[in-house]
Amino acid sequence: MFKTTQSKLNIRKIIEGESVTALYQPIISLKRKGLIGFEGLAHGVYPDNKAVIPAEELSLAASQGGLSLALDRLRRKKVLEQFKPIQEAYPDTMLTLSFDGSILGEEVEGSGHLIQTVKNMGLNPWNICIEIIESKVDNVDELQKFVDTYRDYGFLIALEDVGTGHFNLNHIVLLKPDIMKVDRSLIEGIQDNFYKQQILKSLVFLCRTLGTMIIAEGVETKEEALTVLQLGADMLQGDYFSKPQEPSQSLQESYTDKITDLAATFRTGVGKKIRIKRVNYTKYNSMIEELLTDLSQTSASAFDLKLFQAAARLPFIECFYIIDEKGIQETKTYFSKNEDLHNNKLMFRPAPKGTDHSMKDYYYMLIEDGVEKSYITEPYLSMASGNLGVTISTLFTDTLQKKYLFCVDIKAEKSVY
């Protein structure tokens, strides 16, 4: 780590000598099967031996030397300078530029340094997206002023760090970003993590509602790329396509083959999932219809026996239960013999006979609405087992023509709904 006096001397020399190199990492849209833009990055180099200075070390030295704004402007200048020929080759290409949230106030109060730099280089603000690293923002009023100022100039606005512990949902309401960049911490290993998948799925839904595009950042493997695409990410960025590098012909060559291969695999995978989903859908529906036929031919007094027998022979189901017309649980909750339940019995335990379910969406959507005969919930945390799951509820009548709801819980990762 630098000492303060040494930091001031070294960082000043680097800034004055403009010892910074611009790097670019492509941002890909699989739907367009091509390039959307680049994130512009920059690293420092030691003036004497041209060795790379780690970004964290350079930023620390600038902060200690009171030169964070000067370093930030130098980085952006180098990125913009070398982006000019890239934009000439790809006129519709977007460039994303990161801003250190800790210097936003200084930037706004200045003389429009960024817009002047962009105009002097013959670049169009509409092609440039300002990425705000919100975890470093200390003053929300300065953040709002900064965004309003540069949006009026025509710049796009993006929020970084989405999906990390620093992310603040209030900033979405405040800034109304054009783009949200999902952090690598959420993308890493997402293909094997159901919780991460649901979080990204929720963020995608939020972005769709707000009219905001979403970029999955830090994609490093084909499996991660396929998963985030399936979950609805609009664009992808990461070392899987290309590491950040200086502008060259190889920059384009680094991602073209990956896009072609990924598109082919994605189409094949989607087709396979659809076929599996159809098979499973048929299996679940057939099982439910068979049980409903059996239940509708008996009286309520025999419901418990029927569910007990069904749970023993259907291991892919988490549990069954039946609710009467008033929303009261008519039977016990019967679990599959292979089902693992949560250890915390205080929070997670099966609902006993007599439990009131009248506030559950699957109750009032069927009983009170009276139009639909079946309802499938969104994935939720089951208070019966502690697992994420979905509930499939179907309306039926017994031999006395009394209405009941037959409820089937399935673990979310096994669900095809």
Give 202-253 as a DSSP string.
Answer: HHHHHHHHHT-EEEEE---SHHHHHHHHHTT-SEEESTTT---B-SSHHHHH
pLDDT of residue 9 exceeding 60, the answer is no
Place of tokens 């929300």: 140
Residue 38: which H helix or E strand, with range?
A: strand 34-45
Q: Which residue has the tokens 């009261």?
A: 328
Residue 417 has pLDDT above 50, yes or no: no
Decide: residue 165, CB within 10 A, 0-12 exposed, 13-18 middle, 19+ buried: exposed
List the structure tokens of 160.
């970084």
User: Where is mean pLDDT largest: 46-60, 97-111, 312-326?
Assistant: 312-326
- For the cut 70, the answer to whether the pLDDT of residue 341 exceeds it is no
Angle between helices 4-16 and 55-64 (to 10 degrees): 110
Domain range 4-247, its CATH number among 3.30.2090.10, 3.20.20.450, 3.30.565.10, 3.40.50.2300: 3.20.20.450
Q: How confident is the model at residue 11 (pLDDT cuts 50, 70, 90)?
A: confident
Q: Taking 50 as the threshold, does the pLDDT of residue 5 lie above it?
A: no
Q: With bands split at pLDDT 50, 70 and 90, how would you rate the model's confidence at 251?
A: low
pLDDT at 110 over 60: no
Q: Taking 90 as the threshold, does the pLDDT of residue 222 lie above it?
A: yes
Q: What are the φ/ψ torsions at residue 10 (nearest 5 degrees)? A: -70, -45
pLDDT bucket at 253, cuts 50 / 70 / 90: low
Work out the pLDDT band at 311, boundaries 50, 70, 90: confident
2 three-class SS: coil
Is the confidence at residue 210, as pLDDT, over 60? yes
Prediction pTM value: 0.73
Mean residue pLDDT of the chain comes to 83
Worst-scoring range by mean pLDDT, 169-183, 312-326, 342-356? 342-356
CATH topology of domain 274-414: Beta-Lactamase (3.30.450)
Judged against a pLDDT cut of 70, whether residue 197 lies above it is answered with yes
Contact of 407 with 320, CB cutoff 8 Å: yes
pLDDT of residue 162: 75
- Asked whether the predicted pLDDT for residue 59 surpasses 50, the reply is yes
Query: Residue 397 — φ and ψ, nearest 5°?
Result: -125, 145
Which whole number is the average pLDDT over 231-242? Answer: 93
Could you tell me the residue ranges of all domains in the chain?
A: 4-247, 274-414
* SS3 assignment, position 187: helix
Backbone angles phi, psi at 64, to 5 degrees: -65, -30
On the question of pLDDT at 164 being above 70, the answer is: no
Q: How far is it, in rounded angstroms, from Cα 258 to Cα 366?
A: 47
Instruction: Assess contact for 182 and 144: CB atoms under 8 A.
Output: no
How high is the pLDDT of residue 135? Answer: 63
Listed in sequence order, the residues at least 6 apart from 170 whose beta carbon sits closer than 8 Å to its beta carbon are none
